[in-house]
Structure 1
């Protein structure tokens, strides 16, 4: 088995574990129907408050109509709101509601716990190198 085959197998296994774990978290949050675009939109706004639909759509690589559908859906769920007082040109800024902030904080805490569990599989001395390597891979894949 090649290194690429081994990596593919390990990533597939890790993704399955994390997807099942994420479904459990959504169930705990009382929201079993979040799709990846919803989660990524909320996460982006958590990190970049006041962003516009266009900015989020460009970052996530989705069409404007798809982005508007996600924003409408999240606004109906009272997780984000349009801030008409914070215009960016003719675009309306988006911000998380208190419920959206809580959702993102719980997701972040949950993700950090998963990262701690992953790192615990390695010797303490190997962890910084692993984190550097994963960051380098992520940066390369993002280009």
Structure 2
């Protein structure tokens, strides 16, 4: 049976006065993707473009492939509350953004996934100018 999939990530962008390793060590989560300014975005492709800025991207801790949006966001909220002082510094100094990709599988019997940014989100991220990007894809 086909299922819809939601992938939520948090990216920290455009930092130069802190290293990728320092962010990883302080937060305690291994990134799924890192970009290094001036280095190839994809080292496996000879013609790959160069990263214009540093980037560090994580999935929600404990992420499972078909977790709903609420579970994923709650995981991020818990992480940020646990390391609030450090995250607050990141949010103030750098471009921080959630990227949410929703993949709708044609023929799925699941209802369309919902995305709701509630009071917890607003309390933790709303004041800190953390951006939110949503992309919707239809998969045949």
TM range (shorter): under 0.3
Task: Calculate the TM-score normalised by the size of structure 2.
Answer: 0.28
Output the TM-score relative to the length of structure 1: 0.27
Structure with the larger helix share: 1
Instruction: Compare relative contact order (CA 8 Å, sep 6+) and give the higher one, 1 or 2.
Output: 2
